[in-house]
Structure 1
Amino acid sequence: MSVDRDDRDLEAELASAGAGRVGIPVDAICVGCGRIHVKRAEPGELCQHPQVDPITLESSDLTSFKHICHLCQHATWWNPVAVLSGLLERERGE
């Protein structure tokens, strides 16, 4: 079963190569093209302590981070709009 947000399959987005492989899954918006997509970012990229429990984070706690945008075709800034705690819990088996 997938986690949906605005008719998007967040699990499929997270599994795609464009999301990245390591880090906290967040829903983020590309400042270049305005696309919203699931991305992974390390706590340090989001100005958080490396040992932070991501379940406790809110998007307002996070800073912009650089990641590849496949529509813009280069690394660009992404603004987190939501921490995807449901996906985190599923990865942890909770």
Structure 2
Amino acid sequence: MSVDRGAGDDDRDLEAELASAAAGNSGIPFDAICTGCRRVRVKRAKPEEVGQHPQIDPAQLEASDCSSFKHVCHHCQKATFWNPLAVLSGLLESDRGDGDE
């Protein structure tokens, strides 16, 4: 099941996190936790980076079915592994431009 909200912190601006260069340039938006510092942030990962078929429908994707992926953690100041907590389907739709008609 994908979700629209981040896992945990209700006062986060998930759209701003997605727009940040720290989230990455392409891929499915995940709420993910750094295995080093345990920070939760929006990160993008391509389906194949999380052990999924490249043509998978992200809206049908479960975070629990995804493997950890490597991404930069600006807090740790290095590339670390991130564990997906949730697929952010609301951000996926807004990223495509859906819903603002």
TM range (shorter): over 0.9
Aligned to 1:88: 92
Change (3 A) 1:46 1:4: closer
2:42 maps to a residue whose letter is V
Q: Is the partner of 2:81 in helix, strand or coil?
A: strand
Q: Is the partner of 1:34 in helix, strand or coil?
A: coil
Number of aligned positions between the proteins:
92
Q: Is the partner of 2:43 in helix, strand or coil?
A: strand
Give aligned-pair identity as a percent: 67
Change (3 A) 1:4 1:61: closer
The answer to which structure, 1 or 2, has the higher relative contact order (CA under 8 A, 6+ apart) is: 2
Unaligned runs of 5+ in 2: none
Report the Cα distance in structure 2 between the residues aligned to 1:45 and 1:64, rounded to whole angstroms.
8
For residue 48 of structure 2, the aligned residue among 44, 47, 56 is 44
Higher normalized strand content (fraction of residues): 1
2:79 maps to a residue whose letter is A
Unaligned runs of 5+ in 1: none
1:74 maps to a residue whose letter is K
For residue 59 of structure 1, the aligned residue among 63, 73, 76 is 63
Contact in 1 for aligned 2:5/2:88 (Cα 8 Å)? no
Report the Cα distance in structure 2 between the residues aligned to 1:69 and 1:35, rounded to whole angstroms.
9
Tell me how large the CA RMSD over aligned residues is: 1.2
TM-score (norm 1): 0.93
